[in-house]
Every structure is written in structure tokens, then in C-alpha cells.
Structure 1
Amino acid sequence: MAAEKELQVKEKQQAQQQAEGTRDIPVYIPDVDIYETQDALVMLVDMPGVAPQDVNIDLKDDTLTIRGTVSDYGLGETPVLMEYGVGDYFREFTLGHYIDQSKIEATMKDGVLKLVLPKVDRAKARKIEVKAE
């Protein structure tokens, strides 16, 4: 007998604004998947509707800040019905000492921002050979 799995819809979480914005649009916390490879941490940040040129990534005092801005509707376009909440994205992460901050890379494809955060050499796992005397 196969176990049935229910599809669960996760509601978007709206970010708490720490300052007044210049746009009257909600700001959401993007969903993020983080996984570790031998050489790096990889972050996949979901920001549908955000173009690569509208992503801003800042790194200051070990804090990585990600902002994504959704483009405005075209001139003369007014939404009649919106079932999907459109808004900007904001999320911050504190980086550990084992991340080589000077080598962080970012790419974006199909609304998913991919950040590769390389580990410093001393944090990489390595095998230590045992020599016979």
C-alpha cells in the first residue's frame, strides 16, 4: 500500500520593515534552500518575478543582505485580479568565519538566485595520511 502525501501550500511570509520604503508594495521573506558541498555552501533563493538586474546583494560586517525588486507593471496596465501576491524580497544572513567572503559568486536563472559561498581552505574537509615509521 503506497503512502499518500498531501500537497501543502506554504503562505508567503511578509518581512517586517525596519525603515520606511519608497515603494508602496509588500516585502516578502524569500524561501531559501542551503546545502553544503565539500568546498562551499550553496544557497538557492526563490524570488519569482525578480530580474537579475533587480537583485542587490551586499556584504558588510559578516552580514549578507539580499534584496530583490519586482518590476512595476507596464504603463497603462492595471491588474483586475491578483491571486498571487506580488512584492519585493528581503533577507539577511550572518556568515561564519569559515566562509571566504572575497570569493562569493551569484547567478540567477528562472527566478532562483544561486549563491556559492566558498569555504576558506582551513575549513575544507581533508584526509590526513598516516605514515608508518
Structure 2
Amino acid sequence: MTNDVTHTADKTPAETPETTTGRRIYRPLTDIVETADEVTLTLEMPGVAAEDVDITLEKRVLTIRGKVHTTQPEKLQLAYAEYGEGDFERAFTMSDDFDPDKIGAQVSNGVLTLTLPRAAEAQPKKITVTAS
């Protein structure tokens, strides 16, 4: 983990606060890849469609929420379940190095990818040395 992006405290579903819907809220597993130009976050959010993702950036806190629509077969009663359904939420505290107007997000096969480009003034600058 770098100094540019820090994550909130780990929480399991049992430790999360109760919601108005009574559903569990999961903390999606996240990979963070950093280059000189950008930081990419990859979050696992199975069952979340692009229109059900809500991403906000307020006061340097990037909050990602995903809503899952319950899928239960009609006229069948669940006898046993190993897969728990619930919504997703994760928050990251951002440095001032990113350009908020250029943040990109894409969902594909249950994986949300966020691209956070660094601001031009935060880019490393190469100084050319000349001989005299």
C-alpha cells in the first residue's frame, strides 16, 4: 500500500452497521496497481451491474458502493446456502495527487476497475542536464 491511497479498516459482514434494508454489506476485495501516471483499483463485486454502482469523491474520500439484486428462484425454498448475498461498500482516502475530473470506472464480469490519473502537476519531471 502506498501513501497515495489508504483503505478503511477491514470489516466483515458481521461487523458492519445495520442497514435500512436489513441486508449485509460486504467490503469488496481490492487490488491496487500504481504507476508514475496513475493508480488502478480493481474491486471484486459479483452480481453488481454498471447501473448499480455509485462512486463519489468528497473531501478526498473516494467511496464505492454496489447494489446487488437478490436472485431467488420462484416457488423454490432455499435448503442450504454457502453464498451470502449483500451489497458492497468500500472507501479510500486519496492524496491530492489525482485529477478528479479524469477518474474512469468500468464494470466487466463482476469486476469494477477504477483508473485514477495523477494530476499533471504531480507527474514526475525529468530534468535535462547539458554540458557546458
TM-score, normalised to structure 1, is 0.81
Q: In angstroms, what is the RMSD of aligned CA positions?
A: 1.9
Q: How many residues align?
A: 120
Between the aligned partners of 2:125 and 2:98, the Cα distance in structure 1 is 16
Are 1:58 and 2:56 an aligned pair?
A: yes
Between the aligned partners of 1:86 and 1:74, the Cα distance in structure 2 is 11
Are 1:108 and 2:107 an aligned pair?
A: yes
Are 1:26 and 2:11 an aligned pair?
A: no
Q: 1:5 matched to which residue of 2?
A: none
Given that residues 70 and 85 in structure 2 are in contact (C-alpha distance below 8 angstroms), is that contact kept between their aligned partners in structure 1?
no
Moved over 6 A (4+): none
Q: How does 1:1-133 map to 2 (within 5 A)?
A: 13-14=12-13, 16-17=16-17, 20-73=18-71, 76=74, 78-133=77-132
- Structure 1 gap ranges (5+): 1-11
Between the aligned partners of 2:78 and 2:66, the Cα distance in structure 1 is 21
Question: Which deviates further from its counterpart, 48-57 or 110-119?
Answer: 48-57
Displacement, 1:123?
A: 1.7
Between the aligned partners of 1:36 and 1:101, the Cα distance in structure 2 is 16
Question: Which deviates further from its counterpart, 80-89 or 41-50?
Answer: 80-89
Given that residues 64 and 90 in structure 2 are in contact (C-alpha distance below 8 angstroms), is that contact kept between their aligned partners in structure 1?
yes
Between the aligned partners of 2:130 and 2:96, the Cα distance in structure 1 is 31
Question: Which has the higher relative contact order, 1 or 2, with Cα contacts under 8 A spaced 6 or more apart?
Answer: 2
Cα 1:120–1:57 shift into 2, 3 Å: same
Between the aligned partners of 1:103 and 1:117, the Cα distance in structure 2 is 7
